[in-house]
Amino acid sequence: MSKADKIFIDMCRDILENGSSSEGEVVRTKWEDGETAHTIKKFGVVNRYDLSKEFPILTLRPTNLKAAIDELLWIWQKKSNNVKDLNSKIWNSWTDEEGTIGTAYGYQLGIKHKYKEGEFDQVDRVLYDLKNNPYSRRIMTNIYNHQDLHTMNLYPCAYSMTFNVTGNKLNAILNQRSQDILVANNWNVAQYAILVHMMAQVSDLEVGEFVHVIADAHIYDRHIPLVEELIKRESYPAPKLIINPKVKDFYDFKVEDFTLENYESGEQIKRIPVAI
């Protein structure tokens, strides 16, 4: 069993056995048929992944790593808020008439800020510090900009990254305010593990620990039987992540520069209902 599978199974069991139901509460989310989408949740879930030992992708069911990386590059590399720059339709429900998601996600990372060393956007500031001041305790990004929330079509879920170098290893913490565990958990874990690998490679560092902090980790009511079936499945050894070693500039990475070697998984769960 891969460590990522064990972490996922233990988290899901904890939510199902010890979580709190939203029944009786006023909630925003609904199913496509108009019914209220209730959840069972745990507050303050913290999962730790040692990226030096394995790449944390689920084997219980496949995670579409190519699509996850494409979205990651859309946000962190292209710093875009327009879905035409994305090769999937996962953001279509939150787009406006101009095809944007408002001032959210990549838009925030692309805003330049003044520092004593000059002007940088948040991504470039991280890259600058990892090369010039790697042991700083101030290397972080935050896209939960309260001033712009009113023009965001969706408030950021994964909103903050903190990078920290120990020795020659790059560690990182992802803070997430809310997460749909079945739909998005391993998608985000794999994405941001890739981001740590990218940042490490272009900064001549090795990967260390990736810590995922979820404030509201929830399983929707209609997902419960799917999760119960999923965590009973056979698990496989973790695959090996292969990254094109020739890429030395963060902005040169492409989806094709990442491959998984010996990735085995169970069958995909089809027709997962999504609450909006």
φ/ψ (deg, to 5) at 116: -65, -25
197 is in an annotated binding site: no
In a domain, residue 269? The reply is no
Average pLDDT over residues 168-185: 98
**Residue 145 among known ligand-binding residues:** no
- Which residues have a Cβ under 8 Å from the Cβ of 113 and sit 6 or more positions away? 119, 120, 121, 122, 125
Q: Please give the average per-residue pLDDT across 146-166, as a whole number.
A: 98
Question: Does the annotation list 268 as a binding residue?
Answer: no
Q: What is the CATH number of the domain that holds 29?
A: 3.30.572.10
How confident is the model over 117-131, as pLDDT tens digits?
A: 999 999 999 999 999
Q: Is 178 annotated as a binding residue?
A: yes
Instruction: Give me the percent of the chain exceeding a pLDDT of 70.
Output: 100
What is the tens place of the pLDDT at every residue in 53-72? 999 999 999 999 999 999 99
Q: What would the DSSP string read from start to end of the chain?
A: --HHHHHHHHHHHHHHHH-EE-TTS----B-TTS-B--EEEEEEEEEEEETTT-----SSS---HHHHHHHHHHHHTS---BGGGSSSSTTGGG--TTSB-BS-THHHHT--EEETTEEE-HHHHHHHHHHH-TT-S--EEE---GGGGGGBSS--SEEEEEEEEETTEEEEEEEEEEEEHHHHHHHHHHHHHHHHHHHHHHTT-EEEEEEEEEEEEEEEGGGHHHHHHHTTS---PPPEEEE-TT--SGGG--GGGEEEES----PPPPS-----
142 marked as binding residue:
no
Catalytic residue from among 16, 67, 154, 157: 157
pLDDT in tens, 251-274: 999 999 999 999 999 999 999 998
> 197 lies in a domain?
yes
> pLDDT digit string (tens) for 163-173?
999 999 999 99
Q: Answer yes or no: is 138 a known binding residue.
A: yes
Averaged pLDDT score across all residues of the chain: 97
- pLDDT tens-digit readout, 238-250: 999 999 999 999 9
The predicted structure's pLDDT at residue 58: 98
Please report whether residue 266 resides in a domain: no
Asked whether residue 253 is domain-assigned, the answer is yes
Is there a catalytic annotation at residue 12?
A: no
Asked whether residue 85 is domain-assigned, the answer is yes
- Domain region containing 128: 3-261
On whether residue 15 sits in a domain, the answer given is yes
Give the residue-averaged pLDDT of 26-48: 96
Query: Is residue 170 one of the residues assigned to a domain?
Result: yes
- How would residue 276 be classed by pLDDT, with cut points 50, 70 and 90? confident
- The structural domain count of the chain equals 1
What is the tens place of the pLDDT at every residue in 82-128?
999 999 999 998 999 999 999 999 999 999 999 999 999 999 999 99
Does residue 234 sit within a domain? yes
